[in-house]
Structure 1
Amino acid sequence: MMKAVGLVVEYNPFHNGHLFHLQQSKYVSGCDAVVAVMSGHFLQRGEPALIDKWTRAEMALAGGCDLVIELPVAYATSSAEWFAHGAVALLEATGVIDAICFGTESGQLAPLASAAKLAASNSTSLKQLLQEQLNLGASYPRAYSNALTQLLTQATDWQQNAIALDQPNHTLGLHYMVALERLNSSIKPYTIAREQAQYHDPMPNHHAIASATAIRKMLLEAQNQNLESISAYVPRTTLDLLERTLIKEARQPMHWERFTAQLFYQLSVMPPAALSAYREMEEGLEHRFTQYAKQVSRYSVEELLSAVKTKRYTRTKLQRALLAVLLQHHKQQFTREQLTQGIQYIRVLGFTEKGQQLLKDMKKKAKLPVIHSPAQLLGSSDYLQLDVAATSCYMQLFEAKNPKLQLADYHKPPIRL
């Protein structure tokens, strides 16, 4: 019987660090196959993906994944709690996942397990401490970390193995564990320490490993789409796919500034009261965006973010708020109840021969419909419609005469490798 390990990924783009994580995940879990839950065209930090989701799925398959399924945009662009919940719920729904493996700064699972058991109970004490931290002006990630750490300090096993919960991968790892607890999942968790490059490192400090942040920076700064600067940090297959997309197909790397016209139009015509209805617009943030959108010296998302940012609002929080405006994501669509129940389908982006066998097993074991196209569930899932709309928003920026490009979700079949 084939055993499968699940990975939660963005692969923006797939690089040597991802390859190491993938290979180690199979090793530590003893699994034969890899299933990746991958974000689509917009990502957890509130950014557009550098390259379209099908090309990134192909990178994943070429790098060793056997099946790639899409994390719906409702979860892919959420805070760590709901990003993790959506991803783990999808893996659980496949019915074929034995393990999940994620990277962390420490490589320690025990302290995350202790913290997750407490956080999963959603205790009144945690909520009170969280609100106290927020009232002191802490950002939400820091406030959550401080509040949970205060409760955990009384636990002996935590004192012996304490880790900083506000580090990016610890935060996600904690919420993967919380999701497993809340779903009462039998999926076994594993973690691997990040090697050489950390999540936000802006520049490489190793001859073969660089963060995705550093690789994107080098790509965006490259002249004439020259890929030489990143060649040491990505597999040959990734380099070939980037060359096909950026050079042969002449598609520019995607980044926030390419959405400037659409975004500033919406900010200029909407009063603060209308903006306040969008996801992530809280505590008067809509007034700051309205004010500074009129004061920036030029139409630039980067300049707007710099103007609006405060100690309380992280860049990620602000980017997700702008993304909610761009994609027309209203708060009423993303209540806690809706997000808890919102996983309604398993969307396949690509598979290998081994992945095809997993899909056959999923026909018998999956708890949700497995689809290759939105047409299979047309009109029956609000979150699926959000995926289609996100693709349309993303793809319309490519200069192409083919009108089907914006509706690529309906016309693009899964990648087979």
Structure 2
Amino acid sequence: MSTVGVIVEYNPLHYGHVYHFRQSLNLTGADTCVAVMSGHFLQRGEPALAGKWARAEMALRMGADLVIELPVAYSSQPAEWFAFGACALLDATGVVDSLCFGSESGELGWLLPLARVLADEPEAFRAQVKAGMAKGMNYPAAYSAAAASLARDLGGRGAAAFADVAPEALGQPNNTLGLHYLIALERLGSSIAPYTVARRAAGYHQADVTDAQIASATAIRRLLFEQGDLAAAQAYLPPYTYDVLQREWAAGRGPQRWSRYTPQLLHQLVSRTADELAELAEVTEGLQHRLKGALPRLGDGPLDFERLLAALKTKRYTRTKLQRMLTRILLGHSKSALSAHNLREGVSYIRVLGFTERGRALLKRMKTTAKLPVVTKVTKESFPFLDMDIRATSAYALGFDKPASEDLLRDYYQSPIIISSERYERS
């Protein structure tokens, strides 16, 4: 039995994700699928539209067999650490044979050789990234420019794989993330074989709907927030996604967005000194002073998240960078807890969010293959990153309409979601 791994957020799960899932099975010939899914806070530094167990249920009803959680230590990180944490988890299961990710290019011919070079980060490459940032570029742009320069250099030495690579291809979000998945597999020395599927019908950040069925998660969230009605996005959501979201909304558990956490965030900003803020993850390059200076500039209107973000925004700092920083401030994550050393050590456990009957068989195999303890129930056993996830669940629940104590401590109460195989949507 072969198994493909996918790395997902499903915010929310839509028909584009269904296409990727089915293509992943077809392309790899896998019998089963393990999904590594971000928890309550996501890679772009924002709360998930629906909680992790709701989105795990969507994944299982689509046909994934086992859903494991990417800890918040990695889930709200730049591409390098997000990819490393997710790939390390897939590798640690001992049952995953392949990884299939979406990309704009839809082919590995140029990504793989570039990843092999970048896995060791040549000194000249690091210097070029620093030079780009010194000129005012943000880190993602500086990294992409340096990688494109390296690709051109390799192409100039006769590396045919780079002959037709346009420099802007490295700036496309899924190509960038895919490159970091490949770098992570190289650094881990993993035997997992990579595959990629070209994105179809809608781009990653595409805010407009241009297809009858497939829309990006960004466009779907825009429909939901602008029209305030789940039915506005129904055509772009599988029935099970719609059902799960409808249930969550009815229970007062969504849709979650930053505006639901503004009071908690502002409390952190006003109650901490600039020096205390400087000790938190992602608060870099003197941003603690900008944070403190932004508060008086918010004016007399409602203290909403978008106004705070506008007061912080500069050409150097992307919205995503600032949102990640504000996520770490909201959750109280220190620089020391999320040091490069700690992140490089990897996750020390595998947290199961849900499984099917096929997934149960995978879990049984993992008793002998997994490199790490498999956690299906949170007990007194403690792992630093798991403790962070438990606290993140509490912070996330504070954004519900009427949070109960059980919502705050749900990690202790919630068993893995189990879905019977009859509900699979596999082809």
Calculate the TM-score normalised by the size of structure 1: 0.96
Aligned mates of 1:220, 1:345 — CA distance in 2: 36
Q: Secondary structure at the match of 1:165?
A: helix
Q: How does 1:260-409 map to 2 (within 5 A)?
A: 260-297=262-299, 298-375=302-379, 378-379=381-382, 381-400=383-402, 402-409=404-411
Shift of 1:55: 0.5
Q: 364-373 or 162-171: which moved more?
A: 162-171
Aligned mates of 2:254, 2:147 — CA distance in 1: 43
Q: Secondary structure at the match of 2:114?
A: helix
Asked if structure 2 preserves the Cα contact closer than 8 Å seen for 1:110 and 1:161, the reply is no
Aligned mates of 1:337, 1:404 — CA distance in 2: 34
Aligned mates of 2:334, 2:247 — CA distance in 1: 36
Calculate the TM-score normalised by the size of structure 2: 0.94
Shift of 1:158: 4.4
Asked if structure 2 preserves the Cα contact closer than 8 Å seen for 1:61 and 1:68, the reply is yes
Asked if structure 1 preserves the Cα contact closer than 8 Å seen for 2:110 and 2:162, the reply is no
- In the other structure, the counterpart of 1:238 is 241
Q: 304-313 or 81-90: which moved more?
A: 304-313
Q: CA RMSD in A?
A: 1.2
Aligned mates of 1:382, 1:250 — CA distance in 2: 30
How many residues align? The count is 411
Aligned mates of 1:239, 1:149 — CA distance in 2: 41
Query: What are the Cα deviations for residues 165-193 of structure 1, in whole angstroms up to 9, with x where unaligned?
Result: 12111111000000000011110000011
Shift of 1:293: 2.0
Aligned mates of 2:227, 2:153 — CA distance in 1: 51
Shift of 1:229: 1.3
Asked if structure 2 preserves the Cα contact closer than 8 Å seen for 1:111 and 1:161, the reply is no
Asked if structure 1 preserves the Cα contact closer than 8 Å seen for 2:252 and 2:400, the reply is no
Shift of 1:342: 2.9
Query: What are the Cα deviations for residues 290-347 of structure 1, in whole angstroms up to 9, with x where unaligned?
Result: 1112211331111111221111101000000011100001101111111011310000
Q: How does 1:22-171 map to 2 (within 5 A)?
A: 22-155=21-154, 156-163=159-166, 164-171=169-176
Aligned mates of 1:401, 1:162 — CA distance in 2: 50
Asked if structure 2 preserves the Cα contact closer than 8 Å seen for 1:342 and 1:383, the reply is no
Aligned mates of 1:212, 1:112 — CA distance in 2: 25
- In the other structure, the counterpart of 1:220 is 225
Distance 1:200 1:109, change over 3 A: same
Query: What are the Cα deviations for residues 75-104 of structure 1, in whole angstroms up to 9, with x where unaligned?
Result: 001110000000000000000001000000
Asked if structure 2 preserves the Cα contact closer than 8 Å seen for 1:268 and 1:294, the reply is no
Shift of 1:124: 1.1
Shift of 1:160: 1.4
Shift of 1:250: 3.5
